[in-house]
Copies of this chain bind each other. A is one copy, B any other.
Amino acid sequence: MKDHPIKQEIFAADKAINNKDFDNIPNFYTEDAALVVKPGLVASGRTAIAEAHKEISKYFNGSLEVSQGDVQIIEAGNVALVHAKTFVKSQLKLDSKFSTERESVYVYVRDSDGKWRCAIDNSYGAELLQAK
């Protein structure tokens, strides 16, 4: 059985990130998409998002490896909410390894061409919430 179209898009986007295929990244996002770069910092629009992915890749010395575990999708017409376990691995500096697991949240929108694109990319999930 084929994966849900949104799952296929997420896996393809991960592949583009892992292969540093930055020219391909904008096509995974809607025109006015938002990427949470870190809590408090949001990149808005395709161009800013592709730039942000380049910067993140540089920060991890080009050794970033992103993958997903369980993925749950809730659809409502042309909008979908995605919860995913995301694994981020990297050789952070030349002598240290970085590995973390996140509970990502993505909002996907079915664009006018029928392709699902990421409108909001928040790999920090509920970590954005203040403890109050």
Residues of chain A at the chain B interface (Cβ within 8 Å): 30-34, 36, 42, 44, 69-70, 72, 74-77, 79-81, 83-85, 103, 105, 107, 109, 119-120, 122, 125-126, 128-130, 132
Q: Are B30 and A70 in contact (CB under 8 A)?
A: no
Copies in the complex: 2
Q: Are A119 and B83 in contact (CB under 8 A)?
A: no
Q: Are A81 and B132 in contact (CB under 8 A)?
A: no
Closest residue to A42 on the B side, CB-wise?
A: B74
Question: Given the known A-B contacts A70-B130, A125-B126, are A119 and B32 also in contact in the complex, defined by CB atoms under 8 Å?
Answer: no
Question: Given the known A-B contacts A125-B126, A126-B103, A129-B103, are A120 and B70 also in contact in the complex, defined by CB atoms under 8 Å?
Answer: no
Q: How far is the CA of A76 from the CA of B83 in the complex (A)?
A: 18
Q: Are A76 and B30 in contact (CB under 8 A)?
A: yes
Q: Are A105 and B81 in contact (CB under 8 A)?
A: yes
Can you list 22 A-B pairs, Cβ within 8 angstroms, ordered by A? A30-B76, A32-B77, A34-B74, A34-B75, A34-B76, A69-B132, A70-B130, A72-B128, A72-B129, A74-B120, A79-B107, A79-B119, A79-B120, A80-B120, A83-B128, A83-B129, A85-B129, A103-B129, A105-B105, A105-B126, A107-B107, A125-B126
